[in-house]
A and B are shown apart, each in its own frame.
Chain A
Amino acid sequence: DAGVIQSPRHEVTEMGQEVTLRCKPISGHDYLFWYRQTMMRGLELLIYFNNNVPIDDSGMPEDRFSAKMPNASFSTLKIQPSEPRDSAVYFCASSFYAGPPGELFFGEGSRLTVL
């Protein structure tokens, strides 16, 4: 397995544009997490899904952020419209219910720069 796959790896966009980040979890994993990493705040959990259903989106900063998981192998995080303060590295992670608790498998991240 190639692990959690995220795309794009880097995205540079202008303020006001729509940004879509994509994630493919590890096959068989039933939990999917979206995290945001910044120097100031570290890793923040934005939202997570269990069996494709959003369970907790309390970390989503604003209505400009939305996430979907249409099937077990794909999820998107969308920012519309984007703002410079959204610049960060966005990580997707997945885990398996029957696996050891606390063990998350992370993607390589999508580095977003909003100008």
Chain B
Amino acid sequence: AQRVTQPEKLLSVFKGAPVELKCNYSYSGSPELFWYVQYSRQRLQLLLRHISRESIKGFTADLNKGETSFHLKKPFAQEEDSAMYYCAPHRSGSARQLTFGSGTQLTVLP
């Protein structure tokens, strides 16, 4: 069965500290992976996708096929990074729907 796991529901770090939000998936084939973010009082929005190998707002995410992980990382957290983060694998060639992980609420403390 296809599954995505975000093991931490809550994560707190201090401003300036590194942050890593974990995501593990169990998907057949080679999924495409996405991170979505929901800031307070804002819409859920796409943060980044692994295929683009991009860095958005200082965040990067590396797909590790051996560990089947797609952890989201930032070397120096900022208070404005406080938000809910969702990992979402998408099986290539499948329909357009996304299955989201259970989410991690990140709080960056001053």
Contact = CB atoms under 8 A, between A and B. Distances in A.
A42 B102 contact: yes
Given A42-B86, A108-B43, A102 B49 contact: yes
B43 A3 contact: yes
Interface residues of A, number: 28
A101 interface: yes
B1 interface: no
B56 interface: no
Contacts of A56: 95, 97
Contacts, number: 59
B90 interface: yes
B96 A101 contact: yes
Nearest to B50: A102
Interface in A97-113: 97, 100-104, 106-109
A55 B94 CA distance: 13
B99 interface: yes
B54 to A, nearest CB: 12
Nearest to A40: B102
Contacts of A108: 43
**In the A-B complex, the 9 residue pairs with the closest CB atoms:** A42-B102, A43-B100, A106-B44, A42-B103, A102-B34, A102-B90, A106-B43, A31-B96, A48-B97
